[in-house]
Amino acid sequence: MKHLSNYKTPFVFLCILFLYACGRETPVPKPVGYFRIDLPTPKYQHKSPDCPFEFDISEYSQLELIVDTAHPCWFNIAYPMINAKMYFTYKDVDGDLREFIEEAHGLAFEHQIKANKISTRKIENDSSKVYGLVYNLGGNVASPYQFYLTDSTNHFLRGSFYFNARPNPDSSKPALDYVRNDINRFIDSFVWK
C-alpha cells in the first residue's frame, strides 16, 4: 500500500496540471490586415486648361500640366493622399481615329495576363459630343481603370490610372472606388471646347 501512495502525489499533481492547462485558449496569431483608409467626401472644381476641353476634378487631387511642345495637352491628375496618378494623353485625330482606338484597346488588354476580368462601359453623350469606352480591369493589374474619349472627328483623349505601389486589389479597393467616382465625374463633366 505504501508503494501506491508514492505514486498518488505525482498523479494528483499531474491531474491538477492538466485541468489547469485545459482552461486556456491556445494563442493564435492575428491575420495580416491593412490600414484603414479614411477618404474625405469628394468636392469638385472645374478646370479649363489651355486645351480643347474642360472638366471637373476632385479638390483633393492636383492637376499637373506637362510642358512639352510636342504634346502640349498631355497632363496628369495626382492623388497624393493615396499615392496614385491618372495619366492623360491628348491627340488631334487627323483621320487616325481607328488607330488611336485600337492603340487604347491594346494598352488596356496588355493587362489581360494579370486581370481576372475586363469589363467595358460605352460612353455616349450626344449633347456634348463626347464618346468613348471605359475599361474596368479586375485583379492584380498595374492599371485597374482606363478609358478614352473622343468627339469622333477632331479630338482624342486617353486616360489610365496607376497606383505608385505594387498592385494589391484587396488593400487598394477603397482607394480605387474613391478614384473611380472621381473619374466618372471627370467623364460626365467633360466637354470639348
Q: What is the average pLDDT score of the chain? A: 89
Give the mean pLDDT of 62-89: 94
Residue 131 located in a structural domain? yes
Q: Could you tell me the CA-to-CA distances from 46 to 56, 118, 159 in Å, in that order? A: 4, 30, 18
Instruction: Inform me whether the pLDDT recorded for 68 exceeds 90.
Output: no
User: If 0-12 CB within 10 Å is exposed, 13-18 middle and 19+ buried, where does residue 24 land?
Assistant: exposed
What percent of the chain clears pLDDT 90, i.e. is strictly above it? 67
Domain span including residue 140: 44-192
CATH of residue 178's domain is 3.40.1000.10
Assigned domain for 151 exists? yes
Whether 33 maps to a domain, the answer reads no
pLDDT at residue 13 greater than cutoff 90:
no
Q: Tell me how far apart the alpha carbons of residues 139 and 156 are, in angstroms, rounded to a whole number.
A: 28
The stretch 59-74 carries a mean pLDDT of 92
| Total domains, the chain | 1
Q: What is the pLDDT of residue 50?
A: 93
pLDDT score at 23: 60
Instruction: Tell me how far apart the alpha carbons of residues 74 and 66 are, in angstroms, rounded to a whole number.
Output: 6
Residue 137: which pLDDT band, with cuts at 50, 70 and 90?
A: very high
pLDDT tens digit string along 97-130?
Answer: 999 999 999 999 998 888 899 999 999 999 999 9
How many residues in the chain? 193
Check whether 21 has a pLDDT greater than 70: no
Residue 23 within any structural domain of the chain: no
- Which pTM was predicted? 0.80
Predicted confidence band at 149 (pLDDT cuts at 50, 70, 90)?
Answer: very high
Structure confidence by residue, pLDDT tens digits, 37-50:
788 999 999 999 99
